[in-house]
Amino acid sequence: MRELETLEPGHVALLGVPWDAHSSFLRGPALAPRQIRAALHSGAMNLCAENGHDLEADANWHDLGDLAIPVGDEAALATITGAAASVLARGARVLALGGDHAVSFPLLRAYGEAYPGLAVLHLDAHSDLYDELDGDRLSHACPFARALEEGRITRLVQVGIRTLNPHQRDQARRFGVEVVEMRDWQPGIDLRLAGPLYLSLDLDALDPAFAPGVSHHEPGGFTTREVLGIIQSLPVPLIGADLVEFNPVRDPTGITAALAAKLVKEILAQMLDDGTAARRARP
């Protein structure tokens, strides 16, 4: 990974994880990191977050580029976990760009090791708690079941969910997952979030009207403004994050790439402001 040696405590590393081998429906998210970077640096937007944090002028974040994902599941998992662990070993934090949601399991392996008591805020149309899907236990529909089984997460708070079936309700009960279904969510709802907090943001949490470039279109989701509001009002600093499930194959206009780039800016600003942005955004 380039620039790993430049990471200092408190820095944030942007890390591309182009892995979609366990997508159940469509491939494509492996193409996402380079498209998000292209949107970020296209000249169509500046690098200033809404709170005024100018990322252009901030030397505390570094783009480590894309991981080379080897063939074979065990090797791929080890590569992703190892990369995150080497960032964490330097006292820095990861903002990972998927890939599909299967990347979160190996990332949370590293995070669970480094941060006992880890809490995860998970925004998604889907709970991704399947024990297996189509016989695949590493499916992008399973990462949180795997992380919970291994005890990597102490608390999982899911928001935006609108696809629960009986199996996934059972799984949520079994693992003590706190699920705020989309039909019950309201702006400003108190999720009682506390640190250490990791954000896992699946772009299909947003309504497909706002984020058409995803594999699974699930109407009835968040507006862009609502997701920005959640990020900007987090009550504690993020110790890590992933942005997953952008599928450039379904994004001919580039609108979802622009959305992903905007979310990268806002998440980076939230991480680098170390909570000051969150305090400023709160009444």
Q: Which is nearer to Mn ion, 126 or 152 (CB)?
A: 126
Q: Which is nearer to Mn ion, 112 or 143 (CB)?
A: 143
Q: Is 208 helix (H, G, I), strand (E, B) or coil?
A: coil
Nearest-angstrom CA–CA distance, 6 and 21: 31
Angle of CA points 113, 80, 9, to nearest 5°: 60
Helices and strands (H and E) in the chain: how many: 8, 8
Nearest-angstrom CA–CA distance, 62 and 59: 7
Q: Which is nearer to Mn ion, 128 or 273 (CB)?
A: 128
Nearest-angstrom CA–CA distance, 90 and 98: 22
State the minimum distance, in angstroms, from the CB of residue 216 to Mn ion: 6
Looking at this protein, which amino acid is placed at residue 2?
R
Q: Which is nearer to Mn ion, 66 or 204 (CB)?
A: 204
Q: Which is nearer to Mn ion, 125 or 277 (CB)?
A: 125
State the minimum distance, in angstroms, from the CB of residue 70 to Mn ion: 23
Buried b (16+ CB within 10 A) or exposed e, 72-97: ebeebbebbbebbbbbbebebbbbbb
Q: Return the structure tokens found at 67.
A: 């991981």
Residues in contact with Mn ion by CB under 5 A are 101, 124-126, 128, 202, 204
State the minimum distance, in angstroms, from the CB of residue 49 to Mn ion: 25
State the minimum distance, in angstroms, from the CB of residue 100 to Mn ion: 8
State the minimum distance, in angstroms, from the CB of residue 94 to Mn ion: 18
List beta partners, residue 75: none
